[in-house]
Amino acid sequence: MMALVDCNNFYASCERVFDPLLEGQPIVVLSNNDGCVIARSQEAKDLGIKMGTPAFEIRELIEQQGVQVFSSNYTLYGDMSARVMETLRQFSPHVEVYSIDEAFLDADGLPGGSEPDALLRWGQELRATVRRHVGIPVGVGIGPTKALAKVANHIAKKHPQHKKVGVFVLDGHKREEILQNFPIGDVWGIGRKHAERLMQQGASTALAFTQLPESWVKQHMSVVGQRLQRELRGQSCLSLELVAQAKQNICTSRSFPDMLEDVELIREAVSTHASRCAFKLRREGSCAGALTVFVHTNRFKENEPQYANAQTLLLPQASADSRVLVRAALRGLDMIYKKGYRYKKAGVIVSKIVPRLQVQQDLFASSEENSRLMKVMDSLNSRYGQEKVRVASLGYAKDWRLRREKLSPCYTTSLAEVLLVRG
DNA sequence: TCTGGGGTCCTAGGACCC
DNA sequence: TCTGGGGTCCTAGGACCC
């Protein structure tokens, strides 16, 4: 058996942990530059606020209903996530961190046994402990496969009868009955396109999907659909991934709060994105063999001239050195930047990623690599703050940096911002 | 006025090899 | 008119996830 633990309304719940007055209030958390709604408390969902809605479209509703608004604070959410995951490790020796707010746990061989009742108690204990230790409410779904654990989790969070308990165990006997009432569009791995297609085929429930001929599923949904079909039938095809794999691509990109024409500012932004990609590579112990830089104008401004382009450069030798990647990114930018457009977004993607210790040396390249310098830089920055020591071209201009007007403090990661309790 | 930022996997088809 | 058989590698594009 496998358990899926999923934090409820994670970002909104993180904000709530540090301000009890927010209990019972509608909360939304906005994307970078305070653009779109990316998280909502239950109360905000009940007001009909949809995921991805631009903030300006619901300005009135926010005022009328007293919705509490936050800029996203990934430093806070990342740290809270780590605390949740740490707590989960007390409940199972095998934990796969699936996303910032979700984890799969091996629920076999638990001390209490694998009977449905025992699993239910285990789930409740887990849920209460996370709540007590970290302050975050979670839902727990338990089933024979990952896909069925996802179904169970959905029921634990949405079903009126099970919501209060917050834990649902989907054991073999109940499988068909539950899948019969489970809409196909809510199934993990079925997106909008496949949901439409399946409805046309008459498969509007998860159960009906499991009953379609495998050949049809293979033809229209590839082996991915086939695996999902088997998972829902109770045959495990997706195992726990206990060790996070090194990434194959790493991307750092941002929209600008306002549109930008000045190439110097865009160069600062691109330098910063490249340098952050380099940092992410070093943190993983990887190097990148190629780098792509891209820019585009604002696609929502239909009456303005539009331009989008990207340039990929192969590096002579795979690298995670900020200076090397920044230089490559600026060279790429020079190749695609066109004067006269107002740019909205720029980004850098690194690819052809290899482990640091497997980098193919270049016989003819003069090695500019100096990993010791990068190590010193990283340790200084971890002590004194992000980018205190940096490549000069990252600059200091404020114009292109994020707009975050409703940012909460970094309660758990910055001594200066620790919550003050008055006696 | 204002519209996010990351990722993965799979397949088909082209270019190439012997 | 007829035109082999077996591979690999790479990329773009689609679909999905959080």
Separation of alpha carbons A208 and A197, rounded Å? 13
Any strand C atom closer than 7 Å to A248 CB = no
Nucleotides of B under 7 A from a protein CB: 1-11
CATH topology classification for A172-245: DNA polymerase; domain 1 (1.10.150)
CA of A39 to C1' of B15 (A): 46
- Angle at A252 (CA atoms; ends A251, A258), nearest 5 degrees: 140
With 70 as the cut, is the pLDDT of residue A21 above it? Answer: yes
SS3 A275: helix
**Residue range(s) occupied by CATH 1.10.150.20 in chain A:** 172-245
Distance in angstroms (rounded) separating the CA atoms of residues A20 and A326: 44
Confidence class for position A336, pLDDT limits 50, 70, 90: very high
Strand C footprint nucleotides (protein C-beta < 7 Å): 14-18
| Residue A243, token pair as written in the block | 């060790």
- Span(s) in chain A for CATH 3.30.70.270: 1-169
A189: the nucleotide nearest its CA (via C1') is: C16
Q: What 3-state class would DSSP assign to A304?
A: coil
Q: What is the mean pLDDT of residues A200-225?
A: 96
pLDDT value of residue A423:
74
Tell me the pTM: 0.94
In whole angstroms, what is the distance from residue A325 CA to residue A315 CA? 9
Domain with CATH 3.30.1490.100 in chain A: 250-394
CATH topology of domain A1-169: Alpha-Beta Plaits (3.30.70)
DSSP string, A155-196: HHHH-HHHHTT-EEE--GGGHHHHHHTSBGGGSTT--HHHHH
Query: What is the spatial distance between Cα A335 and Cα A225, in angstroms, rounded to a whole number?
Result: 41
Q: Give burial (CB, 10 Å; 0-12/13-18/19+) of A136.
A: buried
**Is nucleic acid strand B under 7 Å from A32's C-beta?**
yes
Any strand B atom closer than 7 Å to A272 CB: no
Please give the CATH architecture assigned to the domain spanning A250-394. 2-Layer Sandwich (3.30)
Check residue A209 and give its pLDDT: 98
CB A169 within 8 A of CB A152: yes
Predicted local distance difference test score (pLDDT) of residue A358: 85
Segment A147-198, tens digit of pLDDT: 999 999 999 999 999 999 999 999 999 999 999 999 999 999 999 999 999 9
Q: Which of A114-128, A173-187, A307-321 has the lowest mean pLDDT?
A: A307-321
- A189 CB inside 7 Å of strand C: yes
Query: Residue with CA nearest B9 C1'?
Result: A224
Q: Give the bridge partners for A165, in sequence order.
A: none
Nucleotide nearest to A301 (CA to C1'): B3
**What's residue A359's pLDDT?**
86
Tokens representing residue A193 in the block: 């396109």
**Which nucleotide C1' is nearest A59 CA?**
B2
